[in-house]
Structure formats: structure tokens, C-alpha cells
Structure 1
């Protein structure tokens, strides 16, 4: 998403090392890694760290798919729709079908595909061309990422929206209001269901549990 600045956190290296250990030789077979969790838990930063780490240590090219690019409506329009009807909140806001198509384009070793791209500040969604065949690893992140298949490794970050409040305030991307906290509470009850399907749990202290 244009307008979202990502920082590389070296502290995530230990998570990535555990994840790649869980993949084993799968790292050499064009794996897809899914990362799910609540708003502000670090999904985008972890996906960014995967890209930097794998490209640096393995010389493999990483394709990152961010769920924020796959909403049916651009950010401000989606927020306004939520204001009119809070039941709009949930997976139905996201074009998971297109997200899966892009994932399958990678798995299918396709030479070209189109993916959406959100410009946060302009409040627009455009389409860009990608070349899935040029990548060796795919990382998919988002609140509902573990609903996608095929994923070779499913990672869940267990930090809740209550525990990420300070981080969300610092990020400054989302309006801090009672309404948005209601939205996050709704998402909390939806997102946490993915915990049971995860193969690697990332705890608040960044330790991991393999399942």
C-alpha cells in the first residue's frame, strides 16, 4: 500500500529463523507463508522482515501480498461504510478471491498477473502488473490471511488490539476513537478463530510455539 512506511526490526529475525526451520527443505520449493493477527500486532513489519531476511540470507526473491491492498473499497470509503453499518466489518470487506488468485498465480509459476494497489493518502485503488514467476517465496499478511490456501506455513501473532493500542497510536494511520475500538473488538472475535489453524504462534515477547 502506498503511504505505509515499514521498518525492519532485527528482533523479528528469531521468528523468521523458527519459521524457516519449520519449513525445512520447503524453502526451496516456492513456499507461501501466511501471517495473520489483529491490527497493529506487527504483521506487515514481520512480512517486511521476511523479505529482507530471505533475500539477504538465501538470495531468494520474495513477493509480499498485503491484505490492505485487497479491500473492495479504498480506506476512507470503507471507513464511511462502516460508520453507516458496523456489520460491514469482517472478511466480506476484503477481496479474498483476488488475493487467492494472486497467491495461486505464484504457485502456478505464471509469468504475469494483476494485483490491486491502494494509495492511502489519495484514497484510490489501482491495478499493477506483477511477474509471479520471478519470485521464489510468497508471504501473505493480513487479518484474514490464514483463510487463504494453499499456504505452506501459517503464522498467527497473538497480540490483541488492546495490547497494540500504543503501537497503533504511534503509527498514526488509524483514527483513535471509540468507534474504531468497537471495530477492532468485532475483528478480534473473528481473527482469533485463526489461532487454531496456525502452525506457528508468535507470542507477545516474540517467542514462538510450533504446533
Structure 2
């Protein structure tokens, strides 16, 4: 995913500490695990995933790789948006190649040395390809709206933060198109994603507190 600037946010440290504590035995045994982070647009999935990456690496001296589910959309972002305008029923998991993401995660966990995955370039509105050697890494993370649905994930973190909660953040990051149509899309996604909370191993609320 090219186009987002990701920074480390110390506010996520209590969450990353909690997750590391849950997984430290597997990490110390160098098991090739996958951690997924899901939730609505703008809820902080990318930032939390990056914090998990950096804190796990610092704690274990292992190296991690992040799969961004946005890379797996069938169409580039502006094309996806235009099709949604024509027909809101398009909004949902069918827009994302979840099966390909599952395959790539499975390849990673199996130590595949030549994984071919998609790569979105936001500014150019194109989807390219990149190759990775999973043996250059020890564990992986995946972040995305529908990440709780991934069967190849070993531990799932759900951010229980709605599109109404995140409106100021979405306006600030200026990546998404803000307006009536965008809010309708987020409302539809909200109705889908809120049912995924029960699939999580841990749930985080809007105050970055662990609530279960």
C-alpha cells in the first residue's frame, strides 16, 4: 500500500503489551503466526498494526511483515468509489479478494520464498504487484475492514469504533472522499462490520481500552 504515512503511536502500547503477552510463547518458539486487526474505516487499524509490528520486533528481535487488505481490492480506490455511486449494493466483502489474501497469508506461514501480491498506489489509482520472500520475516500482520473473516489468522484484534466516531480523523487524513455518498458507504460497511466483533480474540473501544 503506497500513499499512507504511518507513524508509531505510544497510546497503543497497553494494547500491544496485552497482545504480545498472549502470543509470547508462540513468538519465542518462532512459530510463523499471523495477527489480524479489523474494524471500520478510519478507526486506527493501520496505526495499531504498525505499533504491534514495532513493539513485537522490539520485544522479540523477530521481523514482521504487514499485509494491507486495501491492496486486495478488486479495483483501485477511485474506480471502486465510482462503481459504488452507481450501485450501493456493491459495497461489501465482494469488493475485496479475501481468498487471495488468505492464500498469501498461508504462503507466508508456510515459508514460501516467492509470494506475489497486489500493491495499490493511491496517488496513481493503480494496482501493481510486488514479490516478497516470507523467509525474510518471522511473523505477519494483516489489517483491513474485513480482517476478522480471515481463517488463516491466529489472533484477531477488533477495533470497536464506528464511522461516526472517526469522522474527524477521516477528514484530517484526507484520503477518503468525504460527503453524503461516502457516509452512505460507511453506514453500509458499519452494518456489515459490527457483526464481526464476535469473531475477535480481543476488542478495543474508542478510548483504546481493552473491553473484553
TM class, shorter-length: over 0.9
Q: What is the alpha-carbon distance in structure 2 between the residues aligned to residue 150 and residue 7 of structure 1? A: 27
Q: Secondary structure at the match of 1:103?
A: helix
Structure 1 counterpart of 2:47, from 23, 45, 48: 45
TM-score, scaled to structure 2: 0.96
Does residue 20 of the first structure (1) align with residue 20 of the second (2)? yes
The equivalences for 1:132-211 within 5 A come to 132-210=134-212
TM-score, scaled to structure 1: 0.96
Q: What is the alpha-carbon distance in structure 2 between the residues aligned to residue 64 and residue 99 of structure 1? A: 12
Query: Structure 1 residues 77, 174: CA separation in 2 closer, same or farther (over 3 Å shift)?
Result: same
Q: Secondary structure at the match of 1:209?
A: coil
| Counterpart in the other structure of 1:129 | 131
Q: What is the alpha-carbon distance in structure 1 between the residues aligned to residue 135 and residue 195 of structure 2? A: 33
Report the alpha carbon displacement of residue 30 of structure 1 after superposing the two structures with TM.
Answer: 1.6
Q: What is the alpha-carbon distance in structure 1 between the residues aligned to residue 137 and residue 209 of structure 2? A: 29
Report the alpha carbon displacement of residue 126 of structure 1 after superposing the two structures with TM.
Answer: 0.6
Cα-Cα RMSD: 1.0
Between 1:52-61 and 1:93-102, the stretch displaced more is 52-61
| Counterpart in the other structure of 1:5 | 5
Q: Secondary structure at the match of 2:41?
A: coil
Q: What is the alpha-carbon distance in structure 1 between the residues aligned to residue 178 and residue 25 of structure 2? A: 44
Q: What is the alpha-carbon distance in structure 2 between the residues aligned to residue 110 and residue 174 of structure 1? A: 34
| Counterpart in the other structure of 1:55 | 57
| Stretches of structure 1 lacking an aligned partner (at least 5 in a row) | none
What is the aligned residue count? 210
Q: Deviation per CA, 1:33-59, whole angstroms, max 9, x where unpaired?
A: 011000100001111111211222221
Report the alpha carbon displacement of residue 91 of structure 1 after superposing the two structures with TM.
Answer: 0.3
Maintained 8 Å contact 1:112/1:133: no
Q: What is the alpha-carbon distance in structure 2 between the residues aligned to residue 53 and residue 199 of structure 1? A: 19
| Counterpart in the other structure of 1:79 | 81
Q: What is the alpha-carbon distance in structure 2 between the residues aligned to residue 109 and residue 209 of structure 1? A: 34
Report the alpha carbon displacement of residue 137 of structure 1 after superposing the two structures with TM.
Answer: 1.2
Divergent runs of 4+, >2 A: none
Q: What is the alpha-carbon distance in structure 2 between the residues aligned to residue 192 and residue 107 of structure 1? A: 28
Report the alpha carbon displacement of residue 111 of structure 1 after superposing the two structures with TM.
Answer: 1.2
